[in-house]
Amino acid sequence: MSLCLLLPILESNNSQLTGLLSELELLAENGILHKQGINVDPVFVSRMRALHTNLQAQINTATRPFTLAVVGEFKAGKSTLLNALLGLHGEARLPTGVPPSTAKSIIISYRDEGMPSARIKWQDGTEEDTEWVRARNLIDHIWLEKHPEDMSTSERISDVTYFLKDPILTRLCLNDLPGPGAKNIRDTEVAYDKMKQADAILWCIGEVPTDTDVSFLNALSETSQKVIPIINIREDIPNRILRNDNEIKDIRDTVLKDFRQYFSSEFTEPLMVSAKMIEYERAKETPDEIMYEKYGFTGMLKVIQGFQQQAIDPEQSHRIRRIKGVSINLIEKLVSTSSLLEQDLKKELIKLGAARGSNEDRIIEICNITDLLRSEIRTLAKNTATELCRIVAGHAKAFVGDVLQVSNLPDLYAALTKSRTTMEKMLQERFEKEYLLLDKKPNWLDSLCNNFAEEVRAVIIPEWRAFWSRLSDEEIQRIELAHPGLTFNSLPDSLIKAMIDVVMRVVSILGIAGVLAAVPGGQIIDAVGVVGVIILSLIKDPLESSRRRAINSVELQTDSLSYDIRDNLLNAGMEGNSVIANKIRDIVLLDIDITDKAKTTLSDLTNHVSMYVENAREHIEALKGKK
């Protein structure tokens, strides 16, 4: 398989995965699912995001120059090895002995005409062309100790690229990576990622390998890079004292015994190299070729030249095999993770369907409760209206008896002949003030209405508290997510006063007091009109029969008004109930609306995950099928 066949498959998968992850992140931000108590498992999303990053890295690897990564523990001599290999001296030397606290990824590439000598890539993704010396100083711990003002700038560096016109770099680039144990965890992560992206690994060994080397090389378990072990024989250059042979043998034996599985197949022995001696020899005007051979420079060049030949292979078969193998592994993991995510999403869809049905049942229950309360409030309204009319009828009878006296008749008749309306108003005001005593606050009518409101509260609140208590934990959770701060106690308590205020306001608007005050006035006026023509008769009490008829009429009128008053009180009570019922209905309807939106959103997301899984499986088959 060539790159022109490999890349479209990887880019298609990567594009779909990018869209899916963006959708997941957008859902997390808008909170639609959260309000329904649904959270996409962050473990899945985190795992998918990490796999997505690694897949993108493979795409980047497929399109970038052939890369040799130089790895090894702190002070193993990696930078010294590169200085020796490239013949870097003086200010051009790469910093050596860089402690883990300041270690950065260093890339060395070929320098074409017009290119800068160095480029810094910052952790925010931006890049800056600069001078070699400045880039070198910002990652050199000796410089930073003398110039602490540059430390904060150094900490923002992701990696540094040096551009060098050297024949070794014409077909490949070198990547000096931080060793295990970097204090900045991001530097270690960058080193692991870049090592996986490299086409081959130069493993620089300065001491007997440890567990950290094992963990470092284990990062290659998913890839198939060639690992070339290089034992760096460190020595005291001024005195040319080489390391003790027994130490070198111990390092070699451990490397062959415990790490052979990581080596490229053509290497049965580690390369023995004295990086410092090679660097020392290359600094001479006329290097000694025998010394090159003795200290491993010749053997190391042969290895580099072999990789240069691989780099000019138009098919780059080794790189493609490795990228294909890694990509298949990554996509298979993405399929597995996405399938688990799809199963979770389908379970949540079932829960949303059940929640929708539960909410519909709650709306029906609210209507049933309202009907039940209407019946109970009607009884309360009837009792209150009956009591109210009984009191008014008693006062009205007394008023009729007191007013319809012979001694009052001339005045009454005189008033009537002037204006019936004025006389009716006068009687109403007198009845209200002297008999009903409504000008005093609070009065018996206020007390009666207050009692009615309290009775309504005593009927309404327990029913809605009981309704609220029947809600499931899942319903309560959704409601509290949609209505922050709304709890079982605060719902009815916050509405009780509002409910009573509504009842009292409606009762007041109905003008019950004014209606009742007019009850005896009309009867008196009618009686005066009847007896006016016989005012001078010899009848001992010409108003007796009129009083009797007026009182009977008052009783009939108050009985008739009791029905209107009952209905008015019922309306007042039901309006009070509506304060709570409508609030609860709005909450449930909002929950239904949120549930429907969440269900639609979740259904779309599930379909997208399913489509990605299906397409990813096709990508795997395509990668496996094309040789």
Least confident of 59-73, 238-252, 319-333, 343-357: 238-252
Average pLDDT, stretch 43-48?
86
- Specify the pLDDT at position 483: 66
- Specify the pLDDT at position 345: 86
CA 580 to chain centre: 32
Is the pLDDT at 6 greater than 90? The verdict is: no
CA 207 to chain centre: 48
- Specify the pLDDT at position 13: 92
Fold adopted by 66-312 = Rossmann fold (3.40.50)
Contact 41, 89 (CB under 8 A): no
- Specify the pLDDT at position 117: 92
How does 539-554 read in b/e, with b if 16+ C-beta sit within 10 Å?
eeebbeebbeebbebb
Packing angle, helices 185-197 and 42-63, rounded to 10? 50
Please choose, from the candidates 247, 200, 195, 239, the residue with its C-alpha nearest in 3D space to the C-alpha of residue 218: 195
**Strand pairing of 200-205 and 226-232?**
parallel
CA 218-222-225 angle, to 5 degrees, is 80
SS3 call for 68: strand
Average pLDDT, stretch 607-625?
90
- Specify the pLDDT at position 174: 92
Average pLDDT, stretch 255-270?
80
Sheet harboring 172-176: ordered strands across?
A: 127-130, 118-122, 157-164, 105-110, 172-176, 66-71, 200-205, 226-232, 271-273
And the tokens for 162?
Answer: 């040096």
Please choose, from the candidates 74, 86, 73, the residue with its C-alpha nearest in 3D space to the C-alpha of residue 279: 86
Integer Cα distance of 131 and 164 in angstroms: 12
Integer Cα distance of 67 and 488 in angstroms: 65
The mean pLDDT of the chain is: 77
Residue 265: which pLDDT band, with cuts at 50, 70 and 90?
confident
**What percent of the chain clears pLDDT 90, i.e. is strictly above it?**
11
Is the pLDDT at 207 greater than 70? The verdict is: yes
- Specify the pLDDT at position 488: 46
Does residue 581 or residue 477 have the better pLDDT?
A: 581
Domain range annotation of the chain: 66-312, 362-570
Please choose, from the candidates 169, 51, 162, the residue with its C-alpha nearest in 3D space to the C-alpha of residue 105: 162
Most confident of 252-266, 459-473, 599-613: 599-613
Is the pLDDT at 177 greater than 80? The verdict is: yes
Please choose, from the candidates 548, 565, 601, 371, the residue with its C-alpha nearest in 3D space to the C-alpha of residue 463: 371
Q: Give one DSSP letter per residue of 372-416, joined into a string.
A: HHHHHHHHHHHHHHHHHHHHHHHHHHHHHHHHS-GGGHHHHHHHH
Contact 273, 300 (CB under 8 A): yes
Average pLDDT, stretch 1-7?
70
pLDDT in tens, 521-532: 555 555 544 444
**Strand pairing of 127-130 and 118-122?**
antiparallel
Does residue 536 or residue 318 have the better pLDDT?
A: 318
Q: Within a 13 Å sphere around the CA of 103, how many CA atoms are in the beta-carbon half?
A: 30
